[in-house]
């Protein structure tokens, strides 16, 4: 098998890094003091295996019971746990196409079947999307396109599913809505969240699952005993409790996103309206080679992401950085045209 290929993480400096959807801004100052405190007081002991204080903090933040929350080592860990818990060799995993390439890799590692089912022309999930699936993953907003399906529509698909239906909400904080409020209405609906993007903590590795307590109880059986460490738990609790800080940086990113979308349209690109912290654009009326643009930007030390999806075609995905970073990106892009 081909393993998962993460986005490039250059270890030499000097790049404007707009390729892996990290936050444009630093985490809350409260996170940094929580990390210092945790590192000073408690590294000698094992962490709380179920991260009780995080479950409480996330419960407060989302208005759900802590029993509905499971802490994970990044949301990729959440996706692994969900796959392990649901898929035997005979089972089928379903995900839309194009979307997050990790799902297929998880299916291969688990030794189960995998099917990528294309979105319809107008970006919806086709009827009977979950047919035959033991587990279905739907990133919402989707990556790399940034498109968004309404929670009501997600619920319809979850209700007709025979297995778990996972809304991968890694980018939900940048969108107009989310599915957490629906978890109590449908036991098959599971939500995964990440602190890597909106939480500005990709370096910490923390994500979580929101699901019916009965589902959480089963998932607990397959996780690593200490899947989250003391320092990351402390950081995640502090991030959950500082909603005001995160609302402000998210608001800024949405404003920059709007400007970025408009500028790309003015240049003649076909821009997909985004509800995430990145924008997906295709060559549109420019007739430009996107691979060439990608390489020309890289030469100018600006890193974005090039994808070529069979059937869908080529596209570029650019993370919404700070206003300055996006201005520099747009200037460099104009020079390459």
Ligand X SMILES: *Cc1c(COP(=O)(O)O)cnc(C)c1O
| Residue numbers at the binding site for ligand X (CB under 6 A) | 74-76, 100, 139, 143, 168, 170, 194, 196, 202, 207
Nearest distance in Å: CB 300, ligand X? 25
Burial group, residue 82, by CB count within 10 angstroms (0-12, 13-18, 19+)? buried
| CA proximity to 78, closest of 174, 167, 163, 12 | 167
Cis previous bond, 144, omega within 30 = yes
CB of 91 or CB of 168, closer to ligand X: 168
CB of 50 or CB of 276, closer to ligand X: 276
| CA proximity to 252, closest of 316, 146, 179, 326 | 326
Nearest distance in Å: CB 249, ligand X? 17
Nearest distance in Å: CB 158, ligand X? 18
User: What residue spans of the chain are helical by DSSP H?
Assistant: 29-41, 52-62, 75-86, 102-110, 151-160, 213-220, 230-241, 243-266, 290-299, 323-336
CB of 134 or CB of 207, closer to ligand X: 207
Nearest distance in Å: CB 196, ligand X? 3
Terminal C-alpha separation, the chain = 38
Nearest distance in Å: CB 14, ligand X? 24
Tokens representing 160?
Answer: 């007709």
Residue 51 C-alpha from the chain's centroid: 21
CB of 115 or CB of 328, closer to ligand X: 115
Angle at 24 between CA 230 and CA 22, to 5 degrees: 55
CB of 158 or CB of 276, closer to ligand X: 276
CB of 111 or CB of 203, closer to ligand X: 203
Nearest distance in Å: CB 83, ligand X? 13
Q: How far is it, in rounded angstroms, from Cα 21 to Cα 303?
A: 11
């Amino acid at each position: 098998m081909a393993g998962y290929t993460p986005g490039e993480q250059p270890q030499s400096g000097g790049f404007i890094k707009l390729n892996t959807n990290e936050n444009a801004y630093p985490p809350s100052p409260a996170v940094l003091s929580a990390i210092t405190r945790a590192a000073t007081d408690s590294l000698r002991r094992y962490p709380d295996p179920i991260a009780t204080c995080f479950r409480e903090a996330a419960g407060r933040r989302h208005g759900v019971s802590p029993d509905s929350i499971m802490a994970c080592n990044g949301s990729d860990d959440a996706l692994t746990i969900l796959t392990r818990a649901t898929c035997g060799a005979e089972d089928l995993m379903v995900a839309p196409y194009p979307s997050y390439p990790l799902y297929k890799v998880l299916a291969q590692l688990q030794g189960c079947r995998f099917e990528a089912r294309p979105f319809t022309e107008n970006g919806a999930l086709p009827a009977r999307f979950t047919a035959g699936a033991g587990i279905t993953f739907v990133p919402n907003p989707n990556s790399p396109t940034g498109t968004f399906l309404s929670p009501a529509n997600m619920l319809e698909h979850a209700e007709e599913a025979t297995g778990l239906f996972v809304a991968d909400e890694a980018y939900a904080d940048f969108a107009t809505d989310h599915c957490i409020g629906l978890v109590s209405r449908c036991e098959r609906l599971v939500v995964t969240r990440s602190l890597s993007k909106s939480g500005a903590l990709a370096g910490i590795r923390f994500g979580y699952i929101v699901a019916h307590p009965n589902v959480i109880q089963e998932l607990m059986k397959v996780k690593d005993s200490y899947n989250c460490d003391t320092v990351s738990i402390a950081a995640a609790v502090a991030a959950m409790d500082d909603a005001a800080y995160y609302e402000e940086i998210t608001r800024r990113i949405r404003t920059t996103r709007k400007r970025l979308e408009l500028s790309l349209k003015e240049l003649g690109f076909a821009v997909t309206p985004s509800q995430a912290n990145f924008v997906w654009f295709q060559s549109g009326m420019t007739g430009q080679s996107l691979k060439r643009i990608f390489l020309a930007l890289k030469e100018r030390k600006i890193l974005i992401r090039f994808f070529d999806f069979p059937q869908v075609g080529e596209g570029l995905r650019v993370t919404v950085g700070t206003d300055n970073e996006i201005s520099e990106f747009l200037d460099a892009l104009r020079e390459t045209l």
